[in-house]
């Protein structure tokens, strides 16, 4: 594999609504890159570092109205800073590639478009908390809202009440419709960074669409 590609790490985030099949695709992309000799760190938000995982528990469990939206934004950013400083930046500096299951676009979509926090305020928080740090590439998995929620609910139904991380899935369907539109708008506003991937079809078909985008963007070939 090309030396220039191995010498610097790349940061790829996955985004999308509930049940879009993100975690499956995150793992498949990791496997594909590892198979090509790339050193990959797989991580997620909220979480991805020990303290950030503790904050995650405050965020993903409980009743939908547990937090006011601004508290939620600040908790996500508290976790994000820890994740960046402890996990993402050191890995990139060491030449590793980092794939994160969600990053800051989720805050703009969920807390911004979903819960009405002013986008300009989220942008300011992003600026001072991360020094405006964004991924090299963001893959937005776009799935029909009803289908995604059905999948996500089926996944949670087998867990006990205490294990469920379904606080966001319990929110109303119009919230999820706004989310989908918000991610599509984010992609339109950031065409150099974002790629919308249709979640329609089989797991393999979606994985092929993702690989097509990643390999072209970073000049990788099998």
Give contact residues for ligand TYD (rule: CB under 6 A): 18, 22-23, 45-46, 60, 76, 101-102, 106-107, 110-111, 165, 168
Q: How far is the CB of 44 from ligand TYD (least distance, A)?
A: 6
Q: How far is the CB of 208 from ligand TYD (least distance, A)?
A: 22
Pairwise CA distance, residues 8 & 18, whole Å: 32
Please say which residue, 38 or 108, places its beta carbon nearer to ligand TYD: 108
Q: How far is the CB of 219 from ligand TYD (least distance, A)?
A: 29
* DSSP, res 10: -
**What sign does the dihedral 161-166-167-171 (CA atoms) show?**
negative
Pairwise CA distance, residues 123 & 101, whole Å: 20
CA 56-60-61 angle, 5° bins: 115
Strands (E), 17-151: 40-44, 97-101, 137-142
Please say which residue, 10 or 44, places its beta carbon nearer to ligand TYD: 44
Instruction: Specify which residues 138 forms β-bridges with.
Output: 13, 194
Please say which residue, 165 or 185, places its beta carbon nearer to ligand TYD: 165
Q: How far is the CB of 211 from ligand TYD (least distance, A)?
A: 21
Identify the residue whose tokens are 């090309």: 2
Please say which residue, 2 or 123, places its beta carbon nearer to ligand TYD: 123
Q: How far is the CB of 154 from ligand TYD (least distance, A)?
A: 13
Q: Are 196 and 184 in contact (CB under 8 A)?
A: yes
C-alpha 180: how far from chain center: 13
Please say which residue, 9 or 19, places its beta carbon nearer to ligand TYD: 19
Q: How far is the CB of 118 from ligand TYD (least distance, A)?
A: 15
* DSSP, res 172: -
Pairwise CA distance, residues 216 & 209, whole Å: 11
Please say which residue, 14 or 97, places its beta carbon nearer to ligand TYD: 14
């Amino acid at each position: 594999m090309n030396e220039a590609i191995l010498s610097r790490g790349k940061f790829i985030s996955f985004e999308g609504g509930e049940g879009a099949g993100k975690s499956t695709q995150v793992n498949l992309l990791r496997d594909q890159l590892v198979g090509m000799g790339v050193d990959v760190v797989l991580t997620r938000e909220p979480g991805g570092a020990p303290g950030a995982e503790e904050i995650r528990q405050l965020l993903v469990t409980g009743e939908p109205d547990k937090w006011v939206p601004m508290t939620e934004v600040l908790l996500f950013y508290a976790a994000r800073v820890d994740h960046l400083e402890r996990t993402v930046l050191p890995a990139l500096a060491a030449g590793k590639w980092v794939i994160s299951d969600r990053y800051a676009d989720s805050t703009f979509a969920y807390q911004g478009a979903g819960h009405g926090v002013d986008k300009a305020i989220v942008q300011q928080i992003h600026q001072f908390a991360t020094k405006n740090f964004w991924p090299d590439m963001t893959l937005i998995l776009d799935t029909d809202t009803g289908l995604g929620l059905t999948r996500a609910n089926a996944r949670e139904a087998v867990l006990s009440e205490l294990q469920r991380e379904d606080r966001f899935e319990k929110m109303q369907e119009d919230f999820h419709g706004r989310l989908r539109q918000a991610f599509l708008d984010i992609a339109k506003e950031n065409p150099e960074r974002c790629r919308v991937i249709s979640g329609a079809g089989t797991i393999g078909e979606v994985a092929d669409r993702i690989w097509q985008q990643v390999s072209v963007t970073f000049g990788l070939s099998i």
